[in-house]
Amino acid sequence: MTALAITGARVIDPASGLDRHTDIWVHDGRIAALGTRPPGLPAPEPIDATGLVVAPGLVDLCARLREPGETHKGTIASESAAALAGGITTLCCPPDTQPPLDNPATVELVRTRAETAASAHVFPVGALTRGLEGSYLAPLRALAAAGCVAVGQAGRALRDTHVLRSALEYASTLGLTVMLPPADASLSRGCAHAGVMATRLGLAPIPAAAETAELERILALAVDTGARVHVGRLSTAGAVDLLRAARERGTPVSADVAAHQLHLTEQAVSGFNANAHLDPPLRCEADRRALRAGVADGTIGAICSDHQPHDADAKLAPFARTEPGLSGCETLLALALDLAHTGECDLATTLARVTCGPATAAGLTAGRLEVGAAADLCLFAPDEVWTLSSADMKSQGRNTPFDGVELRGRVRATSVGGELAYRAC
């Protein structure tokens, strides 16, 4: 296996507090030393990282890889390549594949294909209920044994409170994190935030109460069962307030926000822009600011891509009939870094939200940069300005509202297990 000598970089490990200019020595897929070259290291491949930051590889809690079942939208190979171009080395795959990840055989299929087709680490999230239909529990113990790091409902609400409580109780006995979408199904039948833009365009609204009402139910059950709950893809100021209060009371709950929610508002839907048709919908400016404040103060411990690649036809119908979602792996780091560029977070805190923060939420050992850890690394130029071109994206899905947008902070190389899996030209 290749040995690497990464020199001249600013090395940041948010988990340990390391932040200094030093050299990194890699051997046998792991970090062999920081600083002085260790004795006995074979002749390494030199990498001059002067002017770059080296951080742990990013950990993404919500990236749909579209395999099995929707390979016309993406494959494990194509979306893993997109992840690597975005500095992501660890991906959590939600269970809403076709068929869903509600049995060990399908989980094993994903894991086997990931081992042969992907350079990034792919961790399946098992279905909480059979078929994600919310009626009967999936075989959670068997799913955990098959390699699922968590269980959840992806974007499917679980209407039956009794079933949800039973699921949380069972998952708690297994030590499994339960990932839930805070969205009331009855209130989430629209396609845009219940605000000025939906009214102007005549689009069916989704009120903020769809999120806060469901989050209150989830939090109450988390307290009642003691289950470790992770709520995914917050979008409202009210949800941030509820979560902050719950965490202050000691409720075992964590949360993430999709990177695009920190940048865009309902205004992006103007002109019926189908690439801004997202689930949850883009909210108002006050919500966007509250989400950024929640990330800064640690209420929201993770930023995810909410990666949902689509084929071109999925975004060509009238707005309400288009499929929600964007291709987000390749913009995750740049969008997150904006918090550091504006001074809302320091760089280490920002990186924590895309490395050790999500890793901790999923119970993974990833997202760390220390001697003995796997050499999963992201090398990036924090101040490089670049313009996203959907035509140049690695993802099979080119659906993004950031096409042609100028971004700041660019991945230059990604290492997985000590091997350079991606290197910019």
Burial class (CB in 10 A: 0-12, 13-18, 19+), 196: exposed
403 is catalytic: no
List of the chain residues with pLDDT < 50: none
Distance from first CA to last CA of the chain, Å, rounded?
23
Closest CA to 34 of 11, 62, 15: 11
**pLDDT tens per residue across span 17-26:** 999 999 999 9
Question: Where do the domains of the chain lie, and which CATH numbers do they carry?
Answer: 57-362 (3.20.20.140)
3-state secondary structure 264-296: CCHHHHCCCCHHHCCCCCCCCHHHHHHHHHHHH
Could you give the CA distance from residue 25 to residue 418 in angstroms, rounded to a whole number?
10
Phi, psi of 412, rounded to the nearest 5 degrees: -105, -25
Could you give the CA distance from residue 370 to residue 360 in angstroms, rounded to a whole number?
16
**pLDDT tens per residue across span 26-40:** 999 999 999 999 988
Tell me the three state secondary structure of residue 238.
Answer: helix
Phi, psi of 265, rounded to the nearest 5 degrees: -125, -175
Catalytic residue among 13, 184, 256, 306: 306
pTM flag (> 0.85):
yes
- Which pLDDT belongs to residue 40? 85
Token digits of residue 73: 């939208």
Tell me the three state secondary structure of residue 95.
Answer: coil
Could you give the CA distance from residue 135 to residue 403 in angstroms, rounded to a whole number?
40
Token digits of residue 156: 């499917």
Could you give the CA distance from residue 143 to residue 111 in angstroms, rounded to a whole number?
12
- Which pLDDT belongs to residue 14? 98
Pair 51, 8: CB distance under 8 Å: yes
